[in-house]
Structure 1
């Protein structure tokens, strides 16, 4: 075989390898789009079911709800029931009422998590979380209450965003009351850097924020909400739709941009 022939063969082989690599890359992107689209579609379809099911039961008061209310550090909003993530001066506010046992809440957070964090870090939007406990009322158990108290304890430690995400990443089945065990909540805390401290453990085990959780649960049941998640952008409902448009990561970014037109992004430190 001549040198010229060998060079031509090598070039052809390299082109074939490049084409195969490009095809694999295209297929990977395609699969990603299909998975993301399916997740949003499932979320949109399940939303109606979730709202009806979530609204069917009665909210179960938190243990110790009659005791003195101890709000987590930095809680604000009406009656001090909101835990904020993002710059305080961000022009857009997303209000989220959720229950850590609620499967639709879990789907919602897992689909939109990256979008939320991008908008928070860029100063475009802050999220104000309100915690409900309706699944305890629907299914029995105390997992909603216990998880909400633990999340409030994480807020005291300055670790609410990471722990909030970890709870949804490790969410049990709706019919399971795994979050009713403080040991499980403490195990999940081990996934968050710097959260597993004696102070956090004592806060979880002693139910330091149970009365605050009870107050938040009551605000949900008397607030006219139909189920979890309830999601409002600047006070207007955006879940599962805003007008005729379904909520998707792309649409949420668009809606925030439209709401923020002519406004400066927030400059305060992110976090709560």
Structure 2
């Protein structure tokens, strides 16, 4: 990731399924864009995924929305091993395997507490196996931290957009509370 005249440029390594600008993972192909800024270390993001995830999945399945997940590294200091960055990088590796959503859900369900060590690389790899990722390329990607710079880039782009907390949600570019009912109402309003 480099800056040119104050502008961020995408890192060399960007996961499959990333946005054109490289700052998020695209899920679905509906007409309304929902941006979700998340950190895999964030307890409120876990709560958001567990409460809003099924609603977002249904909206994607019904082709009403496209969700762009922006895995951030806000909370690296809340672990002893840069867990936010490493988990975001591993989610990029899962996206390369076409398993971003399954892996992201697994990261939230197995979220370590803030303040201690996050999951080790071995545990991140094992989580991949648990959700069905069997390609050895995934293990190598996680161990090399292939998408660490990408996680920093996603975070920097989010900060440029004014995101200062996770989870943060936008529907068609308008910030909304990270609440399933409010998101559905905003999506409905955007399509009326």
- Contact 1:69 1:209 (C-alpha < 8 Å) held by counterparts: no
What is aligned with 1:257? 188
- 1:63-82 alignment to 2 at 5 Å? 69-77=12-20, 79-82=21-24
Q: Choose the corresponding residue for 2:100, options 160, 181, 184.
A: 160
Q: Choose the corresponding residue for 1:177, options 78, 98, 117.
A: 117
Q: Please give the TM-score of this superposition, normalised by the length of structure 1.
A: 0.63
CA 1:159–1:200 in 2, change beyond 3 Å: closer, same or farther?
same
Q: Considering only CA atoms, is the larger Rg found in Structure 1 or Structure 2?
A: 1
- Contact 1:94 1:128 (C-alpha < 8 Å) held by counterparts: yes
What is aligned with 2:54? 114
1-structure distance, mates of 2:172, 2:26? 14
2-structure distance, mates of 1:159, 1:176? 27
CA deviations over 1:223-266 (Å, ceiling 9, x no partner): 322211111011111125xxxxxx3x3333232122112xxxxx
More strand by share: 2
1-structure distance, mates of 2:81, 2:159? 18
- 1:26-37 alignment to 2 at 5 Å? none
CA deviations over 1:48-83 (Å, ceiling 9, x no partner): xxxxxxxxxxxxxxxxxxxx6200113114x31120
Q: Does the residue aligned with 2:77 lie in a helix, a strand or coil?
A: helix
Unpaired segments ≥5 residues, structure 2: 1-10
2:167 equivalent to 1:224: no
Q: Does the residue aligned with 1:134 lie in a helix, a strand or coil?
A: coil
2-structure distance, mates of 1:138, 1:199? 29
2-structure distance, mates of 1:91, 1:211? 30
Q: Please give the TM-score of this superposition, normalised by the length of structure 2.
A: 0.88
- Contact 1:93 1:233 (C-alpha < 8 Å) held by counterparts: yes
Aligned CA RMSD, in angstroms, stands at: 1.6
Task: Please state how far the C-alpha of 1:208 moved relative to its aligned partner.
Answer: 1.4
What is aligned with 1:93? 33
Number of residue-to-residue matches in the alignment: 182
4+ residue runs of structure 1 moved beyond 4 angstroms? none
Unpaired segments ≥5 residues, structure 1: 1-67, 241-246, 262-272
